[in-house]
Structure 1
Amino acid sequence: MLRRDCTINRLRIGGDAPVRLMGVINCSPESFYRGSYTPAGRVYDRALAMIDAGADLIDLGARSTAPGSPPITVAEEAARVEAALSELDGTGIAVSVDTRYAEVLDLALRHDVHAVNDISGLADEHYARAVADSGLPVFVMASLREPGDAVGLAATLAALDAVVARCTRLGIEEYVLDPAVGRWVPGRTSEDDWGLCRNFEAFSSFGRPVLAAVSRKTFIGDLLGREPDDRLAGTLALTAMLVEKGAAVVRSHDVRETADLLRVSAKMRGR
């Protein structure tokens, strides 16, 4: 039987639950959107402000995955995650840790973490086992061998099919699918991303909640001729459409504005 929901820290996602909102906190100064960078010592205040503004959970990452970002070591990522999570321990705030390295996940598990955000789609067996052994719910991205390497709708559906099979094999039952909209690999174009968004309802065919993660991304900027700090209006317009196409959770840098969008959308749908 298809399972259309997932539970993270008692928060139900998918099914007939409201569309949930994930606020983004980047502890990486290399982030493509500098407005999302939160240095150590300010993570708790930023997270609390997001929860007060309407976020249901926080997605915390310490490594920029945007193409061309300066590389950092796993040790640097781990140190940033350690500092950030130490601020959130005992607060009751639901936290997803965004990493693809077992060493970072192992450190994160010593803190109050409630989910894993894996852009590698569990393709790496060592990391996949670490995620499965954690027992945490997973946001898992469409990836065949490397993050976001599926190009086009058909390849993305095939990647999601592979992701679902990996979850089944590993015994992971609580997970949300991410169709990997974004410029993840050189072979992907803005038109590829628009194609995924136009066909977003297709990703619900797997019977799992689907994540919309399009906040301020390159393809929006390419269309509008805008830099990341000037892509909010475009992001909100697209987000509204993706909610109509079945998104169960929205990942956003702009929590207050997106929370307003979701409230209006729910009202229009009689929810």
Structure 2
Amino acid sequence: MTTLRLGVEERYREFAEGEFAVMAIVNRTPDSFFDQGATFAFDKAIEAADQAVTQGADIIDVGGVKAGEGEPLPVEEEIERTVPFIAALRTMHPRVLISIDTFHEAVARAAVAAGADLINDTWAGWDKGIYAAAADTGAGLVCSHTGGLAPRTIVKKAVYDDVVDQVRRDLVTSAEYAVQRGVRPDGILIDPTHDFGKHTYHSLELTRRLGELAATGWPVLVALSRKDFIGETLDLPPKERLFGTLGATAVSALNGARMFRAHDVRATRELLDMVATIQGSREPKAPMRSL
């Protein structure tokens, strides 16, 4: 299970072991923790997606609800925020991969019908219909880990005997359950889901020992971009967490992560290209010196 396969027909992509994929974040929300709604307006979201593709994104992740605490959003409104945008993006960029960041089956189904290729369920199968949505449509699926939290909640005190061992076992169980429900095995990723149901020390430990998750054989996605564990490690607000994010990204890449959800596409792409070249899975673009 080392090759990840996403998309259909002209946008079909295989990501072999040693190939890093960048997932660009485009939030159709007015209250996202980092950009505070910078891509809530339809035209701004289109501009951001265009820029991400130009800067080397392999997949655009579209979300309509912020992950943090807040007022519940009706499913119909989440669909309205995301699905027309996905349809427009599919027309403008027929070859780019698209993912829908949702924990609702109805949103996932509508998004895949509009052109999404991957269901990024960041709340660990809270809506069990997510598995059926992926199975019925042939879309890929991200299996995440939240420590049993309900969507958009923050644990008061996170406790694990061994966070990496627990996350590894839970994610393997989730991925195997997805296969049993009919989801394509080669379209499944596992995400340790830093910060969700975890404190900073847990997220740091997961990053340090990410190789244990990669050793399961399931492709690992990490969503590190400007997260609280980075902010708390460096005592910095979201706007100043880029360098910390890139440090965590490099460590994760060296430890076997395959897909990287990022706000800063160009910086992430260049860092991952450098790591891949050092590892020997990618050639330098313009080697000249002393040759």
Q: Same fold (TM over 0.5)?
A: yes
Q: 1:267 to 1:26 in 2, by over 3 A?
A: same
Once the two structures are superposed, the pairs formed by residues 160-175 of structure 1 within 5 Å of their partners are: 160-172=171-183, 173=185, 174-175=187-188
The one-letter code sitting in structure 2 at the alignment partner of 1:136 is A
Picking from 6, 9, 13, the partner of 1:8 is 6
Q: 1:79 to 1:251 in 2, by over 3 A?
A: same
Structure 1 runs of 4+ with >3 Å offset: 143-151
Alignment match, 1:25: 26
Picking from 132, 136, 142, the partner of 1:133 is 136
The one-letter code sitting in structure 2 at the alignment partner of 1:181 is H
Once the two structures are superposed, the pairs formed by residues 180-199 of structure 1 within 5 Å of their partners are: 180-182=193-195, 184-185=196-197, 188-199=198-209
Counterpart CA distance in 1 for 2:221 and 2:105 is 23
Counterpart CA distance in 2 for 1:205 and 1:99 is 27
Alignment match, 2:88: 87
Counterpart CA distance in 1 for 2:244 and 2:253 is 14
Alignment match, 1:249: 259
Counterpart CA distance in 1 for 2:133 and 2:115 is 17
Alignment match, 1:106: 109
Q: 1:36 to 1:240 in 2, by over 3 A?
A: farther
Picking from 115, 120, 124, the partner of 2:123 is 120
Alignment match, 1:44: 46
CA contact (8 A) 2:60 2:98 kept: yes
The one-letter code sitting in structure 1 at the alignment partner of 2:81 is R
Counterpart CA distance in 1 for 2:84 and 2:133 is 21
What do the CA deviations read for 1:60-107 (whole angstroms, capped 9, x no partner)?
A: 1111112x3443222221110123213213221210111111121232
Q: 1:233 to 1:97 in 2, by over 3 A?
A: same
Q: 1:252 to 1:268 in 2, by over 3 A?
A: same
CA contact (8 A) 2:30 2:36 kept: no
Counterpart CA distance in 2 for 1:212 and 1:14 is 17
Alignment match, 2:271: 261
What do the CA deviations read for 1:88-130 (whole angstroms, capped 9, x no partner)?
A: 1322121011111112123213311111111233353233222
The one-letter code sitting in structure 2 at the alignment partner of 1:113 is A
Alignment match, 1:153: 164
Q: Which runs of 5+ in 1 are unaligned?
A: none
The one-letter code sitting in structure 1 at the alignment partner of 2:188 is Y
C-alpha RMSD over aligned residues: 2.0
Counterpart CA distance in 1 for 2:90 and 2:219 is 27
The one-letter code sitting in structure 2 at the alignment partner of 1:4 is T
CA contact (8 A) 1:141 1:147 kept: no
Shift of 1:210: 0.6
The one-letter code sitting in structure 2 at the alignment partner of 1:142 is H
Number of equivalenced pairs: 264
Which stretch has the larger CA shift, 220-229 or 84-93? Answer: 84-93
CA contact (8 A) 1:20 1:249 kept: yes
Counterpart CA distance in 2 for 1:143 and 1:57 is 23
SS in 2 for 1:246: coil
Which stretch has the larger CA shift, 121-130 or 39-48? Answer: 121-130
Q: Normalization by structure 2: what TM-score?
A: 0.84
Counterpart CA distance in 2 for 1:143 and 1:78 is 23
Query: What is the aligned-residue identity percentage?
Result: 27
